[in-house]
Chains A and B, each alone.
Chain A
Amino acid sequence: MMKTADVVIIGGGISGCATAYFLAKKGVKNVLLIEKGYLASGSTGRCGAGIRQQWGTELNCMISKHSCDFFETANEELEYDGDIEFKQGGYLLVTSTDKEHEQFIKNIEVQNRMGIHSKLLTLEEAKEIVPFLNTDGLISAAFHQKDGHLNPFHTTQAFADAAKRLGATIMTHTEVTGIDVENGKIRGVRTNKGDVATAVVLNAAGGYSQKIAQMAGVDLPVYSERHQILVTEPIEEILGPMVMSFSLNIYCQQVPHGGIIMGRGDENEPRDLRTTSSWQFLEEMALCATKLLPPLRNAKVLRQWAGLYNMSPDRQPIYGPVEEVEGFYVAAGFSGHGFMFGPSTGLIMSEYILGEKLTLPVETLTLSRIKQNKLVFEPSVV
């Protein structure tokens, strides 16, 4: 165990690993990343692994576009010896209410303004992309070809391997048990494998970010809730894009190895850290998916699991320093889209920690916005 570190990152998901990479790349020595389980064992490895740029706020469009541009060359940039399995099959978002249809028109205006070439489709046009789409009850659709899928384990691994090559230290199977704060400043981090002195801590603990913040005496206005998901046995390629609907509460995508991953939210989900699986989800998911995409009736469910969404009050991430504790930074509250924001998160947090000018103007996403009630709501979340 290192005795001192220049920066300690808590959390070995995409946010933590990407930040470790950018810090090490910028020449920071002694970056230490601590992960309780193994890399991507939390929300990152449990997510639907979709990548989209079709958002309703300029900020989310900008963050996701920057990330997507990074993913396009990530295998080379990170010199990964595996493959992050980036598939750009597009996202087909369907609407089923007038209100949603109106919202999409607004969203697409925002997206196009931000350089994202999404477009509104009629149902006939949508059926050209997914011929077996059941359009009963649907109104319209939106499509963007550059959205898609990535393997979350390999993407996280690619960042972690690159960070290690640049000198960062990654300790998995190590649990943070406390954060020492003295006179309002970070002094160190305690773990079950020893203590490390540091002046800078990044809380990138995903579903556990509130718990980690409490260790430093900070009340983070986020909560975690379970979201369930399933995968089918691999089948021949039948579905190019991710098919998704906010009003029907479904996302569904065939990933490169052939399995179809699908999930939905539950508004009655209790706010806690459970990640168990329920039969009720399986039934609701089956009803919803087989109605929208009838050929899926024959796809066999292989496995279901669950992960935590770390929800912020306006469903936008919280990026930046924590004012009341000097040296304490947070990247949390991703509300279900932390994985696809990963590269941007790493860049943003490395710039905050090093006091650099922000490449992406995300100053409005600091923790203080919530206290000042300057929320920027994202309308498009499953």
Chain B
Amino acid sequence: MLENTGIPTPEDIDSVFPSEERLNRGAIIVVECYKKIPCNPCYTACHRGGIRPFEDINDRPVVVEDNCNGCGLCIGKCPGLAIMAVDMTYSDTEALVKLPYEFLPMPEPGMIIKGLDREGNFITPVKVIKVLNTKAMDRTAVVSVAVGKPFVRQIRNIKVEPVEVRQADDDVIVCRCSDVSLGMIRGLIRKGYTTFDEIKRLSRVGMGPCQSKNCGPMVLKEISIMTGKSMEALTLGTYRQPVKSLKLGEIADEAVRGHSK
């Protein structure tokens, strides 16, 4: 029960969620303000009449579904972090959910992190789309995440921890020189390292005797798959000489021969 645990029941949540019909029309806020308290910043934040005027400051906010466009201005204003916005039209499979967020570290766009339910349990990975955190918001950031549609009623918070999504081929060795697996490469891309040079320096991929001749294209392919950038837009970074390994002794002998000529 809400009174005992602070966690709303599925019935509580249904009572504040917009209708399916309204959800399918586009972005709208969901206000999980379950108790009467003297508080109205959500009402004063909105310029569109998205919250019905309060008759008494203790009133619970009521969303005017036709006025609200889910812009999210009220999300950062609610001291109870009770408001989120949901856009079910974001894509065929995912909804865009805007959540208030007051912890550190801040997530960064592109990260795939943990989506949590109202009890703090990890439910499903979510992708960070946008982080709004201006000075005027006074450290209540609004984080937009893409959430699989079936999870929309469950996801209410995030944890900025890369999600280990195990894939069947994670153990495949991409770099035989330095023993780097596909899973390690994917982990770095998920953390936001999306150039070959960055991944090379943190994992040693491409630093061994093959000098990225074998592993390079495989890493680029993975970056392309995970970021959606085309292969043509990706580069292997600076190529270093010599093209093939040379013994220091051979170079030294050649230098002596050259000088005696």
Contact = CB atoms under 8 A, between A and B. Distances in A.
A268 interface: no
B249 A290 contact: yes
Interface stretch (A210-218, A281-289, A312-320, A336-344): A281-289
B65 interface: no
Nearest to B193: A38
B202 interface: yes
B252 A290 contact: yes
A257 B204 contact: yes
B219 to A, nearest CB: 15
Contacts of B181: none
A298 interface: yes
A362 B256 CA distance: 47
B106 A169 contact: yes
B248 A289 contact: yes
Given A299-B248, A304-B241, A38 B195 contact: yes
A3 B105 contact: no
Interface string B168-196: 00000000001000000000000001010
Nearest to A294: B249
A233 B133 CA distance: 47
Given A157-B202, A165-B105, A299 B197 contact: no
Q: How large is the interface on B (under 10, 10 to 19, 20 to 34, 35 or more residues)?
A: 20 to 34
A7 interface: no
A296 to B, nearest CB: 5
A205 B208 CA distance: 29
Contact of B198 (A38, A290, A303): A38
Contacts of A233: 208-209, 245
Contacts of A234: 208
A30 B246 CA distance: 49
Given A167-B105, A290-B249, A305-B240, A3 B134 contact: yes
Interface in A117-150: none
B40 interface: no
A287 B256 contact: yes
Interface string A95-106: 000000000000
A358 interface: no
User: Most chain-B CB neighbours within 10 Å: which of A3, A38, A289?
Assistant: A38
Interface in A25-59: 30, 37-41, 45
A55 B195 CA distance: 38
B1 interface: no
A290 B248 contact: yes
A277 interface: yes
A109 B254 CA distance: 43
B242 interface: yes
B240 A297 contact: no
A298 to B, nearest CB: 6
Contacts of A284: 255
A280 to B, nearest CB: 9
A41 B238 CA distance: 12
B247 interface: yes
A352 interface: no
A45 B238 CA distance: 13
Interface string B122-148: 000000000001110000000000000
Interface string B103-117: 011100000000000
B197 A41 contact: yes
Contact of A153 (B201, B245, B251): B201
Contacts of A303: 207, 211, 240-242
A165 B255 contact: no
A301 B204 contact: no
B251 A301 contact: yes
A323 B238 CA distance: 39
A232 interface: yes
B75 to A, nearest CB: 19
Contact of A304 (B104, B204, B242): B242
A154 interface: yes
Contacts of A166: 104
Contacts of B193: 38
Nearest to A303: B240
Contacts of B245: 233, 300-302
Contacts of A2: 133-134
A230 to B, nearest CB: 9
A232 B248 contact: yes
Given A167-B104, A303-B240, A298 B249 contact: yes
B240 A165 contact: no
Contacts of B135: 3-4, 30
User: Most chain-A CB neighbours within 10 Å: which of B133, B248, B252?
Assistant: B248
17 contacts: A38-B197, A38-B198, A153-B201, A153-B202, A164-B105, A167-B104, A232-B248, A233-B245, A257-B204, A282-B242, A285-B248, A286-B255, A289-B248, A297-B247, A297-B252, A298-B249, A300-B245
Interface of B: 104-106, 133-135, 178, 193, 195, 197-198, 201-202, 204, 207-209, 211, 238, 240-242, 245-249, 251-252, 254-256, 258
Given A45-B201, A165-B104, A301-B245, 12 more contacts: A38-B195, A38-B197, A154-B202, A233-B208, A233-B245, A257-B178, A283-B252, A290-B248, A300-B245, A301-B248, A301-B251, A302-B207
